[in-house]
A and B are shown apart, each in its own frame.
Chain A
Amino acid sequence: MTLQLTDTDAAWLEGAYGDAGAMAMRILVSMAEVYGADRLLDIESAHIDGCLYHGPSGLDFAERLVAGGGTVRVPTSLNVGALDLVHPGRVHGKAEDRARAKRLMDAYLAMGCRSTWTCAPYQTGHRPGFGAQVAWAESNAIVFANSVLGARTERYGDFIDICAAITGRAPAVGLHLDENRRGQVLFRLVGIPEHLLRDPVLGPVLGYLVGRAARSRIPVIEGLPRETTEDTLKALGAAAASSGAVALFHAVGITPEAPSLAAAFGDQEPDEIIEVDRERLRETLGALSTVPSSSTLEPNRGDTAGHGADAGHPIHVVALGSPHFSVDELAAFVPLVERFPPQPDVEVYVCTNRIVLEIARARGWLEILELAGVTMVADTCVVVTPIVRRATGVLMTNSGKFAHYTPGNLGLDVLFGSLEECARSAHAGHVWRDPGLWQDEAPRGHNA
């Protein structure tokens, strides 16, 4: 297949739109040829991940674009940077690196990107419509845009994201095209207790399982309740994009391209059908933790010896908010903190964006959280930049994505739990397990 460029594309290459425009188009054309695209297509919006500092070369790239007059042509939000600009001093690390991280963030602002600094742009008002062609980076944002919004983006990453934003063009390949969006693997939920189906803890655990089994195929999930919340879908997608290369999933009866099972598969048969029961979910729980007593969970040992075998294990850090916490997630956390304030020697972090932070301030939540010793992090998150003070020990989280990246990025052990388990463990200083969460019947007082 030969790439056909329009006259306008060719004018970009010739420098009619400035040096940065020519460079952005050269990179796009080179990548379109690598992927075997036959054309470029227009995009309506972009989400940029290149603003997170990884080293001097990323700064060289961004500053070259700024020097060449690079300006985005479509509404463009920014993913997290390596600094918390709202709370100076929150991020440690070398002053030289912090200065470069700031220069990188400034370079992207200079190109006209919005100062959203969030991995959940879709919860700050950046919500492309159904069928919209967009160029988004950051794996959880990609999977949310494709799956929950029904927008269309390939898996963009550093460098090519801003090239698409500057030119308003992207290679017409992959998930931009109808024929590549049909489901391939069916995950059928069977025999999962009703209270668990409605608990937010299901999202990351099911997502992690789906990502591991689907790898880069498109999963279809059947059996989620119609009332499944956006935050559960967000957590599911983020976990699936961490454990696998999932960029699009369909949830039958919930996501816009899956009004029915047949529609999700484009009237074709699944390549594979995987039944997901409670035991498979409990096996996945083990994979989300690195502390031995929980990672050696065996599915057939029975309820009492499975989930909860790590109860009492000391914990040192609790990290929430990957993807960034929404207003609803914070609303669920605040009353837990009021009832179960954390031990002073447990570091508790909530990562979110500026908009949610302002809403929390207006509602009086920030005061409650800060008084209880909870550290709010904005514009960035604890697994991409040095914020956590502990160098060893155990971090507990309700995020599948944090659970996946914590051991490699922070060198801490990790334990996965529900939001309530995280809050009450921080209160106790050691792991507290909800005894009925993974049982057949919800326990007394369970609020599911």
Chain B
Amino acid sequence: MPEPMPFTVRVLVSATSPESGRTPASNEAPDDPAAGELITGTVLRLDEPLSLWGGLDPKTGEIIDRRHPQSGTIVTGRILVMPSGRGSSSASSILLESVRRGTMPAAIVLAEVDGILALGATVAREIYDRTPPIFIAPPDVYDRLQGDLPVQLSGEALTCV
């Protein structure tokens, strides 16, 4: 049983919009990490990257890439952990559509920056006022996120509960 101590992850896209109408200072972080809402869920760790375009059905939240080892798994409400996205720039549209339909994961934790997923999340925040936040985990934290581990995320703090 791991100690319930928080690890630090980087917020790539937060769940809530920055205040509209604010004047951005040039040295301001994009999203205030302290303001992050509490997210809880169990880890769904993908063994291989998943292209959401052709890989996730936004109607059901199911992984439908039949060549993917976790094909058939439902991502809805899970803490989706994968190295990065893969493939087509249309992946941002699929993430947006899954937010519209409410089939999206609770959060996405990546090992490296993925601009296409970040764009989908940013647009979802603009249009539907919500998105699964996207985090970048350092390698030692990323390696701990295995199996069905229950975790809590709040701002930059990730806690195994």
Contacts and interface: CB of A to CB of B under 8 A. Distances in A.
A30 B99 contact: no
Contacts of B92: 157-159
Given A156-B89, A157-B89, 11 more contacts: A10-B23, A26-B126, A30-B122, A34-B12, A34-B115, A55-B100, A57-B93, A57-B128, A58-B97, A137-B89, A157-B90
Contacts of B13: 30, 34
Contact of B89 (A22, A34, A56, A155): A155
18 contacts: A13-B22, A13-B23, A14-B23, A26-B18, A26-B20, A30-B30, A31-B115, A31-B122, A34-B13, A34-B113, A54-B97, A58-B97, A60-B128, A64-B126, A157-B90, A157-B116, A158-B90, A158-B92
Contact of A27 (B20, B126, B128): B126
Contacts of B151: none
B7 to A, nearest CB: 21
Contact of B27 (A2, A55, A60): A2
Q: How large is the interface on B (under 10, 10 to 19, 20 to 34, 35 or more residues)?
A: 20 to 34
B122 A35 contact: no
A33 B18 CA distance: 13
A23 B115 contact: no
Contacts of B126: 23, 26-27, 61, 64
A393 interface: no
A190 interface: no
Given A14-B23, A29-B30, A54 B113 contact: no
A15 interface: yes
B119 A2 contact: no
A408 interface: yes
Q: Which of A27, A49, A139 has the most CB of B within 10 A?
A: A27
B111 interface: no
Contact of B24 (A10, A156, A160): A10
A273 interface: no
B90 A54 contact: yes
Given A3-B26, A159-B119, A60 B113 contact: no
A348 B126 CA distance: 43
A47 to B, nearest CB: 13
Interface in A31-64: 31, 33-35, 49, 54-58, 60-61, 64
Contacts of A64: 126-127
